């Protein structure tokens, strides 16, 4: 049985679009209301919200199964699980970025909130472009297979690295510092401070050692720098995840809804993974294996259409492989736990920079 054996074309069916938009917006608004303020999110609360988002994601799959058929729901679930898996590595990198900027847990979810909104916009653009490119023919599939395979190789090479690269070389970091002055201390959840606010901060006894390199009416804070770096990092990850999810389904609505319900739950999942990263040391190996599986699926699917030899892997096999690899990654992590957590605490800001958290009571 192949994907083409049943009708999985849903287009932009109005009722499905309406259900997706209403469900996503309502769930995200509820998440924002439940996690307002600058208090750190406890592991118990993070687990509860992660379960909430999983229920929302799987609930949409139930709707697709009832409204269309189980094949459409399976395509969505395969893309959803794949995006969740790829998000693991993205979240680990975000942990390292937060550690580098010395961002306290009370402000992490605020930065992640804006990061998620950016991901919503950029994923929409990438899905529209990616599905259009796939429609050009099997040759594009070969190119995307090479791209996904290369991503897997790069993940293998960086797997044992404990420290994040020097963020001062990041394009977004350098761009922000080029266009707007930066006040180097985190004093609140604000992304920007006015000149008057900066002058008031400089008069405080504990800030006498702070030296401003530039002057202006407005100053960016390290929180804004952190958010800019996270946004550009997520865009780079989208180059991996979007082709991989499109490899499962060519339907833009299925692809985008699968990615969105996975991405919207990343804020709560971040805090769960932050607490469990010591015990999920082999999960990234499963993600690498998934990337190679998708590259294999794309390559041999393209050769089948181009030259008549290859393999057309159906949605149920794809869903089974994704679930099996993720399960093996978790089980391996439980049986063979790591000796120490990833070394994000080793991440250091540039010499002379002052990134200090002051939480308000």
The pLDDT value given to residue 149: 81
pLDDT at residue number 56? 95
Residue 361 counted as domain residue? no
pLDDT higher than threshold 60 for residue 16? yes
More confident call, 350 vs 361 = 350
| pLDDT of 135 above 80 | no
- Who has greater pLDDT, 109 or 355? 109
Q: Kindly tell me the burial class for residue 205, based on how many C-beta atoms sit within 10 Å of its own C-beta (0-12, 13-18, 19 or more).
A: exposed
pLDDT value at residue 360:
41
204 vs 221: CA distance, rounded Å:
17
Half-sphere exposure of 296 (CA within 13 A, CB side): 10
Q: Is residue 356 part of a domain?
A: no
Query: Residues of the chain with pLDDT > 90: what percent?
Result: 11
Helix 105-134 crosses helix 252-264 at what angle (to 10 degrees)?
Answer: 170
Per-residue pLDDT, averaged over 228-243, amounts to 81
pLDDT at 93: 79
Residue 357 in any domain: the answer is no
The model's pLDDT over 60-114, given as tens digits with 9 standing for 90+, comes to 999 999 999 888 998 899 889 888 887 777 777 788 888 888 887 778 888 888 8
162 confidence band (pLDDT: 50, 70, 90): very low
Of the ranges 246-255, 286-295, 301-310, 352-361, which one carries the lowest mean pLDDT score? 352-361
Judge whether 322 and 142 are in contact, CB under 8 Å.
no
| Residues of the domain holding 207 | 3-346
What average pLDDT does this structure show over 347-360?
48
Q: Is residue 360 part of a domain?
A: no
- Predicted confidence at residue 359, as pLDDT, reads 41
Closest residue by Cα to residue 155 from 276, 269, 259, 295: 295
Secondary element (H or E) of residue 290: helix 283-307
> What integer pLDDT is reported at residue 7 of this predicted model?
65
pTM: 0.78
Burial of 184 (0-12, 13-18, 19+ CB in 10 A): buried
> pLDDT at residue 59 above 90?
yes
Residue 354 has pLDDT above 50, yes or no: no
Rounded-to-integer distance, Cα 117 and Cα 115, Å: 5
Angle at 112 between CA 360 and CA 290, to 5 degrees: 150
Q: Is residue 187 part of a domain?
A: yes
pLDDT at 104: 75
Name the strand (E) or helix (H) holding 193: strand 192-194
User: Which pLDDT score, from 0 to 100, does residue 348 have?
Assistant: 54
Task: Return the structure tokens found at 35.
Answer: 């996690």
The residue ranking higher by pLDDT, 41 or 4, is 41
Q: Which of 67-71, 87-91, 150-154, 204-208 has the highest mean pLDDT?
A: 67-71
Over the stretch 271-307, which tens digit does the pLDDT of each residue have? 887 777 666 777 778 878 888 888 888 888 778 777 8
pLDDT of residue 27: 92
286 by Cβ neighbours in 10 Å (0-12 / 13-18 / 19+) ranks as buried
Please count the structural domains in the chain: 1
pLDDT band at 2 (very low <50, low <70, confident <90, very high): very low
Give CA angle at 27 (24, 32), nearest 5°. Answer: 120
| Residue 359 lies inside a defined structural domain of this protein | no
CB 306 within 8 A of CB 138: yes
Q: Does 353 reside within a domain?
A: no
Lowest mean pLDDT among 102-106, 170-174, 258-262: 102-106
Which of the pair, 141 or 121, is modelled with greater confidence? Answer: 121
- Least confident segment among 81-95, 322-336, 337-351: 337-351
pLDDT band at 158 (very low <50, low <70, confident <90, very high): low
Cα distance between residue 347 and residue 102, in whole Å: 9
């Amino acid at each position: 049985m192949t994907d083409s054996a049943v009708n999985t074309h849903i287009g932009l069916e109005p009722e499905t679009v309406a259900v997706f938009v209403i469900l996503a917006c309502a769930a995200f608004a509820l998440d924002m209301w439940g996690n307002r303020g600058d208090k750190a999110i406890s592991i118990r609360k993070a687990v509860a919200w992660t379960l909430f988002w999983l229920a929302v994601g799987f609930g949409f799959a139930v709707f697709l199964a009832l409204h269309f058929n189980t094949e459409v729901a399976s395509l969505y679930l395969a893309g959803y699980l794949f995006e969740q898996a790829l998000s693991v590595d993205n979240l680990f990198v975000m942990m390292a970025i937060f550690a580098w900027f010395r961002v306290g847990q009370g402000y992490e979810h605020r930065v992640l909130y804006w990061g998620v909104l950016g991901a919503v916009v950029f994923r929409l653009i990438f899905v529209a472009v990616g599905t259009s490119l796939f429609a050009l023919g099997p040759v594009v599939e070969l190119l995307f297979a090479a791209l996904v395979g290369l991503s897997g190789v790069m993940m293998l090479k960086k797997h044992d690295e404990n420290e994040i690269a020097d963020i001062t070389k990041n394009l977004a970091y350098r761009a922000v510092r080029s266009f707007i002055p930066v006040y180097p201390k985190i004093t609140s959840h604000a992304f920007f401070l006015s000149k008057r606010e900066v002058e008031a901060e400089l008069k405080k006894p504990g800030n006498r050692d702070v030296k401003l390199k530039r002057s202006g009416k407005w100053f960016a804070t390290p929180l804004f720098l952190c958010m800019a770096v996270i946004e550009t990092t997520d865009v780079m990850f989208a180059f991996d995840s979007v082709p991989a999810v499109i490899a499962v389904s060519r339907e833009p609505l299925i692809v985008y809804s699968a990615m969105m319900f996975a991405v919207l739950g990343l804020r709560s999942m971040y805090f769960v993974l932050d607490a469990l990263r010591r015990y999920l040391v082999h999960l990234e190996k499963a993600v690498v294996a998934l990337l190679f599986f998708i590259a294999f699926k794309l390559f041999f699917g393209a050769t089948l259409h181009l030259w008549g030899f290859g393999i057309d892997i159906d949605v149920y096999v794809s869903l089974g492989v994704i679930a099996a690899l993720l399960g093996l990654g978790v089980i391996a992590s439980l049986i063979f736990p790591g000796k120490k957590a990833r070394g994000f605490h080793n991440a250091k800001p540039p010499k002379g920079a002052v990134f200090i958290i002051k939480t308000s009571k």
